[in-house]
Every structure is written in C-alpha cells, then in structure tokens.
Amino acid sequence: MKKRIFAANWKMHLGPGGARRFLDAFLQEYRPSSDREVWFFPSAVALEAVVERVRDHSGLKAGVQNVYWESKGAFTGELSVPMAREAGAVAALVGHSERRHVFGETDEDTARKAKALIAAGLTPLLCVGEKIEEREAGKTLSVVERQLGALDDLGCDALAGLTVAYEPVWAIGTGRTATPSDAAEVHAAIRAWFGGRGVPAAEVRVLYGGSVNVDNVGALVSEPEIDGVLVGGASLDPATWLRIAQAGGD
C-alpha cells in the first residue's frame, strides 16, 4: 500500500535543543498509523537531534533541507549527501522555491542534487511550482513540466525513487492555498509526466505544499491525487503538527 507522507519543513527554525523539546512533546501524543509516514526536515545542525528522537519510532523519518551534489571538496558552507546520510538522513528537499527564488538555484542544480541523492540511496523530495504571474498567464503546467524536465535523462528506475511536492510559490507562507481540485489537476499532470517515462503513475507519490494548516489539511488529503503534504510554518508547533500529521486517519 502506498503510504501518505506528512512532511515538516522547519526551515531556519529550531536548533538541537528546540528540536528535542518539540519531538518530546510530539511523541507523547503521536500514535503511529500504518497508512502514513511523518518526515521531519530540520536545520542541518538539528539533524542528529531529530534522528536520535525518531530512530525507534515506526513511520517517522528525518531528512535535510538541502545538499550539494559533490561528495566532498572545497565547498565552504555546503552539506554533502554522504555527510547527510552518515548523520542519519534518509531524504532531502530538492528545489524548494526558497532555494530557487532566494538563492538562485536552477533546474540543472536541482537535477544534480536529485541524481546525487538517488545514487546514494536517499529519497529526493523534489519541489516544483509556479509563481503567481505564471499561474495568471496559464503557464502552471508548462512551468512544472520544465522543472521536471531537468530530470529527463534519468532512467525509469531512478525516477521511481523520487517523491514530488507541488508547491505553488504564490501559496507558500501567504495564507493562500490552491483549492484541492486545483492541486489535484497539477498532481495528475505530474503523474502523467512520470507515466510517459515508464514510471507507473499510481506509484508516484505527489504531495501538496503551500499554506497547509489544520483547517485545510483534511480536504487536501481527501483528494485521491494528493498523497500527503509538505508543511512549513504550521509544522513548528508540536500540538498543531500532531493534528496535521494525524489528519484523515482512521
């Protein structure tokens, strides 16, 4: 059974101590469910603290927010995939809109990172999505397909190792959210892109991200095309995150 993913992107919040306190509070109330996984993407300095807390809990995983594609070298400030794996990460965000639009990362950069992660046996959580002017110009699908197209030279098996998050840039941190049906339309197009490259569409996990909160998460995950959520600000409070991570459960 394909499990839903509830992923928390803590961005530049919560150091090691804050991460431990968060997870101590979260784990007091969290009850694992066989239909889902809960992923945490803390800051790099808090990764080991998160790994330590989730290690013995079924369905909880830790990842990193960013990696560099070279395995080692004179790249001050960067985090290599082998380092992330050694510290306990099993996944990494790739192509988040803040990396693209604040730090200037290109589609080619995201492809290099995804390939390095796949080669090391880690899961890339590839973020794709359009800006408001692109949406208003009717270019949503062409933008998403361009971002995916950077991975065109990957084989079917490698593509099958990806998880994708559709995050419309205009909805991230703004309080605006794509409607569940709007998101489902883009998710279906993403699956079709993978299907056209030999990856069974039903096996591709596609998450939604963009101002997800306790009030809208239930409607989002009830859409058959939406396999979970990637959450920013609403994942920073353990009680709120608990409600989101258990949404739509039995």
The residues spanned by each domain of the chain are: 4-245
The tens digit of pLDDT for each residue in 113-140 reads 999 999 999 999 999 999 989 998 999 9
Q: What is the pTM of this model?
A: 0.95
60: pLDDT strictly greater than 90? yes
67, amino acid identity: V
Exposure class string for 50-87: b at 16+ Cβ within 10 A, else e: bbebbeeeebbbbbbbbbbbeeeeeeeeebbbebbbee
45: pLDDT strictly greater than 70? yes
Active site residue 133: no
Q: What is the pLDDT of residue 250?
A: 58
CATH topology for the 4-245 domain: TIM Barrel (3.20.20)
Q: Which of 98, 105, 167, 225 is catalytic?
A: 167
108, amino acid identity: E
- Between the alpha carbon of residue 72 and those of residues 48, 62, 110, 125, 174, the distances in Å are 20, 22, 18, 22, 37
Active site residue 96: yes
User: Of 22-26, 89-93, 166-170, 175-179, which range is least confident?
Assistant: 175-179
Q: Which of 37, 96, 130, 225 is catalytic?
A: 96
Q: What is the pLDDT of residue 24?
A: 98
The proportion of the chain whose per-residue pLDDT surpasses 90, expressed as a percent, equals 86
